[in-house]
Chain A
């Protein structure tokens, strides 16, 4: 009964787009890692195998999210929210890996709690907005900010500025769809941006703010002029731009990009996976990839538009905002027009937490899309 309903109303279009994106990701990861990574003595299939296993795990996680009626999620928001805060706090106690305490080691693998936290935030906020839709007053925004606040603080403390931006994007996107006054949102956005700029200015001019290191600010601002520090913070951006640009129209061919294969491109299987596609598959490849993302976003927007109730609208709007911010920030970074914040490209970047979360997010969209048809059976 459940299977038949799933098969009948499952949005195969969305499934197809996600599957296509993942496939491109597998290829790009394999190309980027089959020669091994410095300091990691692993076989050529290590990373791509792990990514495929992550995809399988993601499907296992997605299945219950898909089957359970999304309205049931509303009943669980309290334990979900509190346990997420707890885990985000726990992760701060771990030893930093490459400068950030973002990973929890569980048995043989490590997970990044800030990834699933985005979905929890979407669900919790959607439930609140469903019960208390904003009516254009400033105070309507207070509780949503209080919900986001502790999560943001814990994530900034890791520090993970990139994920914090995603949370901010989700918050603004959902509030916008829920009817908050655009002027208010613009002001919030502007003040947030203003705060970041002020902090950056202070830190760069020698004010010791304890929690923010100058190198973090430099890394963030390097996209403004990567050549000012071409061998340091600017290296990643420059090498990424060279990789993408040198792909020209048709690319150098899979497994043949010199920037990728000779390791000039940093974090090429994770943050800069887009540049691998750009170098090896060229403009045709990147355009096709952007096209797939466009279809994903467009479909998510359609789900939002057609959701049968406010909770569904907000859930799908949150997922949409999440994807949009990820794509904009990640691709923008690879193309040298956005700060280097190190957030993954959905479905392509290597990383289990991210892939599972994205598949769960797709399941959420599918769930909302499916229940629209419930009346029919």
Chain B
């Protein structure tokens, strides 16, 4: 039996024990809830409230008539809170990579680049809806990972105009450093090339912020406060969508025909179309091209990028960055130099037997055709007589040839604002050759007369971009005035208000006697007339055209084909340059492209597309500048410059 007094004593001890236990717990409650309550309340708020960044919709790109060329669409992005990821984030990233079907390294890289970000890190953009569902279903296995709405770039016309628009890609460390202080974070997308890159600042807009309540898995529960994002400024390009389509189609048709004929050869090409009254680029095509959608968002964008490197590279904008011997499209320069120097008159006849000095043989002889016989300057243009222009080259000499080539814009940028910057090609001269071979024996450094002959027909050391060739023909058409080429006609606010317009700027002015320009133009007109090299491509043409074929011979493959033209002669509006790498003949590969583009231009001119209502005001303002220069008052008043130097 229990000892009563002992039990009483032990009950008392238990009583004290209970009191102590409960008092200790009570004391701890006082400490947590009363003494340190505010601190814990603050930490609870820190748990609950997070900042998120809402991406700004990027500015749109319109064509010159207000048609959308590049836009945005809604999409889902996979984002992560770094602190929400478990310590074995490797597992989560691997699982995520499995769902997204992309390499896990890409996610790790994104996470590393976003380190230290106060806002969630974008791991992958434009995730397909199946993956979004899979991620939501496996939310418990993917702590710290969630899905966010995020506008993504959309290029509805695919590869059309790709080299003009460019594409977006993840910001790299170099850009992040360069643009510090502009609010970029490591997982932003930025323009990598083209207009997207050049106008990154305008297009980007200002990201917004959201104060969101999150749950323990850091999944947003509700938005507590919001600073809306400001959409980027839209750009109106000078591009005409219809003309761009026509240029792309004609170029692609020509290339695929060549591919069928010579499967082993890597054909490529470009087309550039300029408005002669302003310098506005109406179309600019370069092929092979890429699909900017796949480079910007594709899950396989890394592999896709590699596949584009070529050869032939699909990333190269051939109209601006392709450097080629211009071949016969250069011949107007030789003619102008000879006329200015007074060493020849247009009517002077020369017997073109097909054989030049230094063992040179003309293309028609090589092609087993009859020699051209007696030719004057007009006929020499029409039949593209190399003998004749060799002869002029001999008369002019390398020094003056170089001078006029530079005067007419070769060897220097046209001034087009673009990224990457246009290339300039080479105008050779004695000094150029000396420095080129400075490490070789003296015999290599000397400029030989035979090289002047090559130069005179746009071969040898002479190289140029299609845009420079277009500028030459703009100078001829405009009688010495070349507007600086441009691609952006104006900027438009997200609300549709015009912010600014680009005024045409004269980029190059060459004061030569009017007769010189007219002589060359007459020669160029004969090219598309019966007996001319490009007559075949221009049979039945409804508008007066002046043009020139070019077939630049190469030592390492089929010749490059060129065609440069402008129309309508008399009141010229538009210049087209088409160039096909390894196209063999300018007449067969390039001239049909120019014909197709010019046909499209004149067909559309009579029925311009409907303009959006918001466009009207801007259009009127925007055309003011253009109208002022529609008929440039550049005349022959400039006196002939003896030699200019």
Contacts and interface: CB of A to CB of B under 8 A. Distances in A.
Interface of A: 38-39, 133, 173, 176-179, 231-232, 239, 241-249, 258-259, 262-266, 278-279, 282-283, 286-287, 290, 293-294, 297-298, 301, 304-305, 309-310, 313, 317, 320, 324, 327-328, 331-332, 335-337
B217 interface: yes
Contacts of A297: 18, 22
5 contacts: A179-B6, A239-B216, A242-B44, A245-B44, A278-B29
Contacts of A264: 44, 47-48, 215-216
Contacts of B214: 262
B38 interface: yes
Interface residues of B, number: 46
B140 A246 contact: no
Given A247-B33, A290-B26, A313 B2 contact: yes
A350 B45 CA distance: 27
B34 interface: yes
B33 A263 contact: no
A246 B43 contact: yes
Given A38-B140, A263-B217, A278-B33, A177 B10 contact: yes
Given A177-B7, A177-B10, A290-B26, A244 B48 contact: no
B47 A301 contact: no
A52 to B, nearest CB: 27
Contacts of A320: 14
Given A244-B33, A244-B40, A324-B17, 15 more contacts: A38-B140, A177-B10, A177-B14, A178-B2, A179-B10, A239-B216, A246-B44, A249-B34, A259-B44, A262-B47, A263-B215, A264-B215, A290-B22, A324-B21, A327-B22
Interface of B: 1-3, 6-8, 10-11, 13-15, 17-18, 21-22, 24-26, 28-30, 32-34, 36-41, 43-45, 47-48, 83, 86-87, 139-140, 213-217, 221
Contact of B37 (A232, A249, A258): A249
A335 B35 CA distance: 14
A231 B87 CA distance: 8
A313 B7 contact: yes
A239 B6 CA distance: 45
Contacts of B44: 242-243, 245-246, 258-259, 264, 279
Nearest to A178: B2
Nearest to A312: B2
Contact of B2 (A173, A294, A310): A310
Given A38-B217, A259-B44, A262-B214, A245 B2 contact: no
A90 to B, nearest CB: 31
Contacts of B43: 242, 245-246
A115 B26 CA distance: 27
Nearest to A310: B2
Give me the 7 closest cross-chain CB pairs, A-B, nearest first.
A245-B40, A248-B37, A246-B44, A263-B216, A262-B215, A283-B33, A246-B41
Given A177-B14, A262-B214, A331-B25, A39 B140 contact: yes
Contacts of A239: 47, 216
A280 B33 CA distance: 12
Given A179-B2, A246-B41, A335 B36 contact: no
Contacts of A242: 40, 43-44, 47
Contacts of B15: 298, 301
A324 B33 contact: no
Specify which of B13, B41, B44, B48 lies most central, judged by the most chain A CB atoms within 10 Å of its CB. Answer: B44
B87 A301 contact: no
A179 B3 contact: yes
A286 B33 contact: yes
B21 A328 contact: yes
A245 B11 contact: no
B635 to A, nearest CB: 79
A11 B557 CA distance: 108
A337 B215 CA distance: 26
A297 B25 CA distance: 14
A232 B87 contact: yes
A157 to B, nearest CB: 29
A243 B139 CA distance: 24
A91 to B, nearest CB: 27
Given A177-B14, A258-B47, A301-B11, A244 B22 contact: no
Specify which of B6, B29, B45 lies most central, judged by the most chain A CB atoms within 10 Å of its CB. Answer: B29
A304 B33 contact: no
A257 B95 CA distance: 33
B215 A324 contact: no
Given A262-B47, A262-B48, A337-B28, A248 B7 contact: no
A247 B30 CA distance: 11
B2 A133 contact: yes
B216 A262 contact: yes
A96 B353 CA distance: 100
B21 A245 contact: no
A272 B615 CA distance: 64
B213 A262 contact: yes
Contact of A248 (B25, B33, B215): B33
B288 to A, nearest CB: 50
A162 B245 CA distance: 76
Contact of B33 (A38, A282, A327): A282
Specify which of B2, B36, B213, B221 lies most central, judged by the most chain A CB atoms within 10 Å of its CB. Answer: B2
Specify which of B13, B43, B213 lies most central, judged by the most chain A CB atoms within 10 Å of its CB. Answer: B43
A337 B18 CA distance: 17
Contact of A245 (B7, B36, B139): B36
A327 to B, nearest CB: 7
Nearest to A328: B21
A248 B11 contact: no
Contacts of B216: 239, 262-266
A245 B215 CA distance: 19
A173 B11 CA distance: 11
Contacts of B29: 244, 278, 283, 286-287, 290, 335
A283 B32 CA distance: 9
A127 B213 CA distance: 57
Contacts of B6: 179
A355 B24 CA distance: 26
A298 B15 CA distance: 7
A310 B1 contact: yes
A277 B87 CA distance: 31
Specify which of A262, A263, A278 lies most central, judged by the most chain B CB atoms within 10 Å of its CB. Answer: A262
B25 A290 contact: yes
Contacts of A133: 1-2
Contacts of B40: 241-242, 244-246, 248
Nearest to B8: A305
A297 B18 CA distance: 7
A266 B48 CA distance: 15
Contacts of A290: 22, 25-26, 29
B11 A262 contact: no
Nearest to B1: A310
Contacts of A249: 33-34, 37
Contact of A301 (B14, B26, B32, B37): B14
A354 to B, nearest CB: 20
A241 B17 CA distance: 25
A248 B34 contact: yes
A231 B86 contact: yes
Contacts of B11: 177, 301, 304-305
Contacts of A38: 139-140, 217
A133 to B, nearest CB: 7
B46 to A, nearest CB: 9
B219 to A, nearest CB: 9
Contacts of B48: 258, 262, 264
Contacts of B32: 241, 244-245, 278, 335-336
B2 to A, nearest CB: 5
Nearest to A179: B6
A293 B39 CA distance: 28
A245 B33 contact: yes
